[in-house]
């Protein structure tokens, strides 16, 4: 495949060449900026509630705090979401469910940990059954507190939006959860 305007020759498999050409096109500044802006304002979380932080997440989604103005619209199905929001303690049994939810999410995927229990186990820090989510998933934002305020959730959304717009993610590079299968 030859591009006469740019003088680029892509040699090899046609599908691979088309993938390279589309990636090259999508990484050009005007298209990349538009794509990153659109992704940053369409963060749709599937909330993985295992503790009391779920009440604060619900408060952040209510009209008083209006998280929808940030493009943050909670969904229930992992196949329509791109943000996994882990709220609270993650046990070994729930970690398996979290991995399944994460694998079903489309690219690009983001992870936010909410609360001390999600960060380091909270009051259950020395339990045999607690899993640290940052050991399983590539976490983008941590929200400290017990439980964190809805304002902290809004701030984490803004931080993730800035991170998406200012960094160069390679979409579709196959981030898979770490750990044993």
**Neighbour tally for 86: CB within 10 Å:** 31
Q: Are residues 31 and 48 in the same domain?
A: no
Residue 84 lies in a domain: yes
Whether residue 81 is contained in a domain is answered as yes
pTM (two decimals): 0.76
Quote the CA–CA distance of 16 and 27 in Å, as a whole number.
16
What is the per-residue DSSP string for 128-148? Answer: TTB--GGGTS---EEE-SSSP
Give the pLDDT score at 74.
76
pLDDT for 181 beyond 60: no
The answer to whether position 153 is within a domain reads yes
Residue-wise pLDDT for 116-150, tens only, equals 878 887 777 777 888 888 888 898 999 888 888 88
Domain of 62 in residue numbering reads as 43-166
**How many angstroms separate the Cα of 88 from the Cα of each of 39, 80, 105, 132?**
26, 22, 20, 10
The structural domain count of the chain equals 2
Mark whether 9 and 97 lie in a shared domain.
Answer: no
Residue range 3-59, pLDDT digits in tens = 666 667 656 677 887 888 877 877 778 888 888 888 888 888 887 777 777 778 878
Q: What's the CATH number where 133 sits? A: 3.40.50.12280
Residue 76 lies in a domain: yes
Q: Which of 100, 94, 140, 146 is nearest to 120 (CA)?
A: 146
Q: Give the pLDDT confidence of 162-175 residue by residue, as tens digits.
A: 888 887 565 555 44
Q: Give the pLDDT confidence of 60-87 residue by residue, as tens digits.
A: 877 787 777 777 877 777 788 888 888 8
User: Residue 21 and residue 35: Cα distance in Å, rounded?
Assistant: 16
29 & 48 share domain: no
CB-based contact 139:114 (threshold 8 Å): no
pLDDT(177) > 50: no
């Amino acid at each position: 495949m030859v591009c006469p305007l740019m003088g680029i020759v892509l040699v090899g498999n046609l599908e691979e060449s088309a993938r390279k050409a589309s990636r090259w096109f999508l990484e050009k500044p005007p298209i990349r900026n538009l794509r990153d802006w659109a992704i940053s304002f369409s963060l749709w979380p599937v909330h993985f509630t295992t503790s009391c932080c779920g009440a604060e997440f619900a408060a952040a989604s209510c009209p008083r705090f209006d998280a929808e103005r940030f493009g943050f619209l909670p969904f229930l199905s992992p196949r329509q979401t791109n943000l996994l929001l882990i709220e609270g303690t993650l046990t070994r049994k729930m970690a398996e469910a979290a991995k399944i939810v994460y694998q079903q999410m489309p690219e690009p995927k983001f992870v936010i940990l909410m609360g001390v229990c999600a960060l380091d186990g909270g009051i259950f820090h020395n339990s045999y059954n607690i899993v640290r989510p940052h050991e399983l998933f590539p976490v983008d934002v941590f929200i400290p507190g017990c439980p964190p305020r809805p304002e902290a959730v809004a701030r984490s959304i803004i931080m993730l939006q800035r991170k998406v717009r200012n960094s160069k993610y390679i979409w579709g590079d196959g981030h898979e959860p770490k750990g044993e299968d």
